[in-house]
Chains A and B, each alone.
Chain A
């Protein structure tokens, strides 16, 4: 099981927002956004909600789970 996300797509849909700008809006470092986008770091529930709220979407629309075997 792996937690993936649509943050990159959401950024592009949001006027090609940069990782830096998103990081600033959410209140984290750019490196944290990079790690979350690449699914290298699983954000806390609070951070997941912050990201979802920023894009006016539900958490499930941003984050989803995939089975790594498939």
Chain B
């Protein structure tokens, strides 16, 4: 049963990656390109997806630690975050520019990056201690680390952006 689920997840991931790649190459050349816009809503949605992925990932890591890495569940959980960033890349390709955000958004993201880096170090120490005491087993530390980072980064970006 688990092997079937793993295969299904792998196939889904592969399909999404292929579709994302095709979209990146084909959408800028099609009429759909006019519909791909970067604005405040997309920025907020991106950070909200990041928060949602982070919370879901941490929850699943806690509830099903044995499956999160083994069945590639963490990749499935992170997929919406990947897809929304593919959207950013498509907008960049359409505009032929990497400057799709305004200066405050970039500033907020860099501040959030600093906060995430600062918090991720003590978070990693705690995860390592839990790993040594066998509370966190196997490669589950990786999912904890990645989802904590995404959660902190997205929530602090959104917080800085909205704080005005």
Residue B40 CB within 8 A of the other chain: yes
Residue B82 CB within 8 A of the other chain: no
- How many B residues touch A, CB cutoff 8 Å? 12
**Smallest CB-CB separation from A46: which chain B residue?**
B103
Contact check, A28 vs B164: say whether CB atoms are below 8 A apart.
no
Contact check, A29 vs B105: say whether CB atoms are below 8 A apart.
yes
Residue B96 CB within 8 A of the other chain: no
Contact check, A41 vs B102: say whether CB atoms are below 8 A apart.
no
- How many A residues touch B, CB cutoff 8 Å? 14
Contact check, A32 vs B163: say whether CB atoms are below 8 A apart.
no
Give complex CA distance A32, B40 in Å: 10
| Residues from chain B with Cβ under 8 Å of A41 in the complex | 104, 107, 164
Give complex CA distance A34, B108 in Å: 14
Residue B145 CB within 8 A of the other chain: no
Contact check, B163 vs A47: say whether CB atoms are below 8 A apart.
no
Contact check, A29 vs B104: say whether CB atoms are below 8 A apart.
yes
Contact check, B40 vs A29: say whether CB atoms are below 8 A apart.
yes
Contact check, B40 vs A31: say whether CB atoms are below 8 A apart.
yes
**Smallest CB-CB separation from B39: which chain A residue?**
A29
| Residues from chain A with Cβ under 8 Å of B107 in the complex | 41
Smallest beta-carbon distance B97→chain A, Å:
12
Contact check, A38 vs B43: say whether CB atoms are below 8 A apart.
no
Give complex CA distance A32, B101 in Å: 11
Residue B162 CB within 8 A of the other chain: yes
Contact check, A28 vs B103: say whether CB atoms are below 8 A apart.
yes
Question: CB within 8 Å of B: which residues of A?
Answer: 27-32, 34-35, 38, 40-41, 43-44, 47
A-B contact pairs, 10 of them (CB 8 A): A28-B103, A29-B102, A30-B40, A31-B40, A32-B102, A32-B104, A35-B164, A38-B164, A41-B104, A43-B103
